[in-house]
Each structure stands twice: as structure tokens, then as C-alpha cells.
Chains A and B, each alone.
Chain A
């Protein structure tokens, strides 16, 4: 598939919490080809500091050639990005990497933690094209209600069952996202799609192994190019004998392809 470099105009900015933002950017070629789980590399400013692009998973593709990005301010790049207003254009590369693989013969469990929920909305939309809403369950975890309030509504408005857990108990169950899944002992074929912080994913993978559920995870690493040129985004393989790369072999991996240390 071709990779496009487009000057993407920011058409809409939403401030979800004091450090979580959602931008809608016009990038028709990228939007036309993007699949759930893929990502884009975006320049976050005009200056050479910060120097590198930032990777963002595609949160959603919308009418009119829009790519939506959901991001949290974690450093210089995302800070600069969050300050941009509608009307600014930023250079975007994409769509990049390997996305989620899905079929229609499974129960689908979408499991997201914090900002890792981003790519799951796009996945849910695609799944709904060929699957009944009753076959899809969404499990969301966060520190506190504000982080996932809007997202809970987004999934809910698609007719999906959403279960939430927050560490402070401000929304849903008090605890971790895996606490929501623990009581489920589904023996029909289940596919789990996970995205979130590493400890959460490791817990999800353990749970899936225990129940023989297929599991794919979207992994996040530091990344310079996104194009398999720098080889900076190495992740240890499950055989411990070498590395896969998040930008090309991932960011979505079958859970058994990578090491869980």
C-alpha cells in the first residue's frame, strides 16, 4: 500500500480533559486507505525542536477525508501539538504499519486503557459493518472518569455494550480493566483487541492465554521515522532471539509474537 505525505489542515480541536485532546485533520488520501490499528506520523510544529514527528494511531476516519487523532500531552511534541488551532496545517505521513486483523466469526472484545483507547473506536466502526452489536463488547479502563467519559459515550452511541473501570472509582467499577473481564468465561471463539499501557496489556494477555482467547495488542514505542528506516522502535520477539519493529511489523501484534517480560 502506498504511503502518503500530506499537508493536513486541522479542522476541529476538542479538549477532552486538561491533557487529552482530539483533533480532526483533513488528509483525504490517508483517510481513504487507513485501516484500524494503523498510525500516522505528524509534525507537531515548524521548528527543529522538537525535531521528530510524533506517531498517533488513527482514532477514527470521518466523512470528508478526515483523520481523527486522540492524544495525551506527555512531552514537548504533544505539548506543542496541543497548542495548535483550527486552520493550521501540519505535515502528515500515513497510513503506516500493520493494523488489527479481524473476521466475523468471533465474539469481539475491545480492551483499552487510557489514551490506548484511541484506535479502538475506528475498529468498532469497521466491525459493526459486518457484525451485530451484540457480538462486540468494549472494556475501558482509566485513572479517572474525565479520561474516558466522552469515549464511553462514543462507543455507547454506536449501540455497543461498554463496561468501564477507573482506578479512583469515579466511573464504573473501581479497579483495573482486567477486573471487568475476569468474571467472563466465554467458551465460544473470542478475539481480544488490546491497546494501552504495557502492564495492562500483559495482564490482558495472561487472561487471554488462560481462556484460550485469540489476542492482538497494539504496542507503543519511541519512534523516529515510522518507515522502517531507523530501526529505533525495536521490540523483543517472543523467542528472545531478536527484535520486531513497531512501525512495520506492528504496531498491532499477535500477543504470542512478542516477549512479555
Chain B
């Protein structure tokens, strides 16, 4: 059967993706964890768990709580740190054709710069995703994501020390996400990804105590999809940067909505926990949708809902 497959390729700065579906940071480990369940070569890109200069032990448990159509997490950025990432995790990822994006986080602009400079030396790292939006740590992280001047400073610092694509991941927990998006655009980001988790909480009525030891946590999963979609739409209005859509994407239909709203690519997050094969199914589903609609390229979808 001679069917011309639609073109799913997308470029974001120097980053070349064979399709627009990536696995979101913090939901896919360092890739290897999913090696026997997912065809890793099929993915658009893998974004690994956020890395800091030094290892972090994370928050005390309980760290997660299930809510209606979603979950709260307050992991606290537990990670192996830069050196162990390079020695223990990177070799496996080197063996994949799939582009690698490393999510980075720090307490100071200097932390981010050091991470960027060291990761710039690793050719396999096709892009950085700068985490300025984690809601679960008291210092750093979210402070950069809620203040436009600080967001600008971090982005600029990373930009100066990393020669390939720089993506900045935005928080929804702000008064006006457009202000932050414009600040990072101005500072030289190649793209923005949004949204990170939505700050929330849950209380156990038996113990009469918060369910999370951290009290507050980040809400993710299908429950937050309409918020993510709305914010992608808004940011598409206010910046000309490519946008990577995130927020409760579980099916091809969800991903297509984000593309129609103006995202050029998407990340699958919490759904990896429930259905590890979801990203592959979403790639396949987008392909089938384009065929059904007689579209030859994913470009025809991007922002289409914005055209009157």
C-alpha cells in the first residue's frame, strides 16, 4: 500500500526532531528505566529528570497524592547531580538516535551557568530545558520563574554558556505568564515549554493533616490540560518563540489540541506513569489524524485554531 507518510519533522533552534512528541522531565527517569517498555528510538526527544550541580535528596515522604484525574507531587528535585549524570546515565543515552534534552536547575544564576557550560561539552546534549518553575523547593527554582528580571538573568546566563537550543520551562503559578515569556525571549531563549505543574494541595480527613509532607505540591495529569492549553494559546499571542505544549496530554487528541493552539511540539508527562507506551501511541495517532485530514505536514496543524 503506497501511503505517503505525513511529515512530522520539527526544528527548534538547532534541535532537529523527527516528530513533535517528547517525554517530560521528571516523568521518564533517565530513559533507561523505560527501555524494555518503549521503543526509545521512536520518540521525538527524551527530556531527562532535572539535574543540579550537586545531588539532591529531595523532600520527605509522603511525596505524592492522587486527586481526581490527576496527582500532586512534591518530590523536591531529587536527582543524582551533574557528575553522576555524566558518568552513570549519559552513556546509555549516547546509544540512542533520539535527541537528548537535559533539564537543569539551580539555586543561583551561577549554578545554571556552570551546568550549561559543562553540558555544552557533551555533543549528545541537543538542548537544555531550563527549569525555573518547580513549585516544590523553597529556594531557587520557582523564584526565577515568577520574577521576570530573574527569569531574564537565568536565561541570559545559560544562553551565554550553551551553544545549542535553549528551552525555558515556564510556571503557570504566576499572575501573567506573558510577562515571563517575553522576558526569556528577550534574554535569548530559543523556545519556551509550558506548563509546569499547578500548585495545589490535598488533606487527609482521617488524620486531619495535609496529604503531602511538603503541604503543597504540583498538580499534573489530565486535570490540568485546559489550563495548559489556555496558557499555550496566550503565550503564542505574546511571543514569537516556538512553544512546546505540556499539561495532561494523554491521547493523540490532546496533543493535537495543543498543536492547534500554537505549540510546535508537545511533552507527555504524568501519562508515562500510567501508560508507558502513550508517547508512541500519540505519534502514531498524530500521523493518522494528518492522513485523515489530508494534511502533508505537521506544520499545517500548528496554530491552526488561531486562524479565523
Contacts and interface: CB of A to CB of B under 8 A. Distances in A.
Contacts of A227: 29, 33-34, 37, 273, 276
Contacts, number: 101
Interface stretch (A48-56, A100-108, A150-158, A205-213): A48-56
A48 B69 contact: yes
Interface in A216-232: 221-225, 227-232
Contact of B63 (A43, A49, A232): A232
B64 A51 contact: no
Interface stretch (B71-79, B94-102, B124-132): B71-79
A234 B78 contact: yes
B71 A51 contact: yes
A27 interface: no
Interface residues of A, number: 33
15 contacts: A3-B37, A48-B69, A52-B66, A52-B273, A221-B62, A224-B73, A225-B27, A225-B273, A228-B33, A229-B27, A232-B64, A233-B63, A236-B60, A242-B57, A243-B61
A50 B66 contact: yes
Main secondary structure of the interface of A (DSSP, over half): loop
Nearest to A91: B275
Contacts of B65: 222
Mostly, the B contact residues are loop
B285 interface: no
Contacts of A93: 37, 276
Contacts of A52: 66, 71, 273-274
A51 B36 contact: no
A4 B49 CA distance: 23
Given A224-B71, A227-B273, A243-B78, 19 more contacts: A5-B276, A5-B277, A48-B250, A51-B70, A222-B61, A222-B62, A222-B63, A224-B73, A224-B273, A227-B276, A228-B33, A229-B29, A229-B49, A230-B64, A231-B63, A234-B58, A234-B63, A235-B61, A242-B57
Interface string B264-277: 00000010111111
Interface of B: 26-29, 33-34, 36-37, 49, 57-66, 68-71, 73, 75, 78, 221-222, 250, 270, 272-277
B302 to A, nearest CB: 27
Contacts of A51: 66, 69-71, 221-222, 270, 274
Contacts of A222: 61-65
B34 A229 contact: yes
B66 A230 contact: no
Contacts of A49: 68-69
B37 A231 contact: no
A129 interface: no
Given A230-B73, A230-B75, A243-B57, A53 B37 contact: no
Contacts of A223: 64
In the A-B complex, the 6 residue pairs with the closest CB atoms: A232-B64, A225-B273, A229-B29, A2-B36, A242-B57, A48-B69
A230 B26 contact: yes
B88 to A, nearest CB: 13
Interface string A88-119: 00010100000000000000000000000000
Given A91-B275, A229-B28, A229-B34, A243 B58 contact: yes
Contacts of A233: 61, 63
A83 interface: no
A3 B73 contact: no
Contacts of A50: 66
A217 B272 CA distance: 29
Nearest to A230: B273
A130 interface: no
A50 B221 CA distance: 11
A118 B113 CA distance: 51
A72 B60 CA distance: 27
A232 B75 contact: yes
Interface in A1-38: 2-5
Contacts of B71: 51-52, 224
A234 B273 contact: no
